[in-house]
Amino acid sequence: MNIGILSVQGAVSEHEISMKRAFLRRGIEGKVIKVKRADSLREVDGLIIPGGESSTISRLLDRFELRENLLERADEGMNIMGTCAGAILLAKEGDHSVGRTDTELLGLMDMSVVRNSFGRQRESFERHLEVSGIARDFPGVFIRAPSITRVWGDCRALSSVEGIVVAAQEGNYLALSFHPELTGDTRIHEYFLDRTKSSILHRPSKNC
Ligand code: GLN
């Protein structure tokens, strides 16, 4: 099983380390692949879109001709986890700060996001979170984090801070406002691995 990390900008190596640990802890054989080109997207069963700068990642998705292939793979059922900037990109709707930077959202999840919702870099904070169905007491690290202001359709809120939604899930997609890769806690990476593994096992065979 291969997990890709979109590697055009942002916190790539931290996710790589966490995911390698998660493979070991779950006893699952597999590789972590840094995805910089469209052909690597074919090799991965799940993809992480890391934190960084959503406007930059959006621009680079087009420059490296990754957007269309990513959406195609998503359509085929690929699991995707977006953290922070990655969560913004998964959304269908963004606030004026998303619009102002010409960020083109992937629009895979029925949710609205507000960029930099908790303030600037120096207002970064850590909060222990209950992430429904995934982890209790998870150390959430928030750095210029977005909030999820509305979910609809099949999208479900999984976690909140003082009533503000900071994690959501819709089918194969998981969006987190915070950075699980910046903690030693790999529970969310392990969860993502397990889900990806089970979606491979339940994938309809092309031969029948
Ligand atoms: N504020 C950044 C953005 O809008 C996200 C910050 C992060 O990923 N840590 O893309």
* 207 — pLDDT class (breaks 50, 70, 90): low
Residue 50 CA: nearest ligand 1 atom is 8
Residue 189 is a catalytic residue: no
- Whole-angstrom distance, CA of residue 62 vs CA of residue 112: 22
For the chain, what are the domain ranges? Answer: 2-201
Q: What is the dihedral of CA 65, 70, 72, 74, to 10 degrees?
A: -170
Give the model's pLDDT for residue 120: 83
Residue 208 is a catalytic residue: no
Give the tens place of pLDDT for each residue, 122-177. Answer: 889 999 999 999 999 999 999 999 999 999 999 999 999 999 999 999 999 999 99
Q: Of 84, 155, 170, 190, which residue is the catalytic one? A: 84
Count CB atoms within 10 A of the CB of residue 121.
8
Give the tens place of pLDDT for each residue, 57-95. Answer: 999 999 999 999 999 999 999 999 999 999 999 999 999
Strand intervals (E) in 45-104: 46-49, 79-83, 91-94
How close is the Cα of 143 to the center of ligand 1, in Å?
7
Give the model's pLDDT for residue 203: 75
Residue 181 is a catalytic residue: yes
**Topology of domain 2-201, CATH:** Rossmann fold (3.40.50)
Beta pairing, strands 156-161 & 173-176: unpaired
How close is the Cα of 200 to the center of ligand 1, in Å?
31
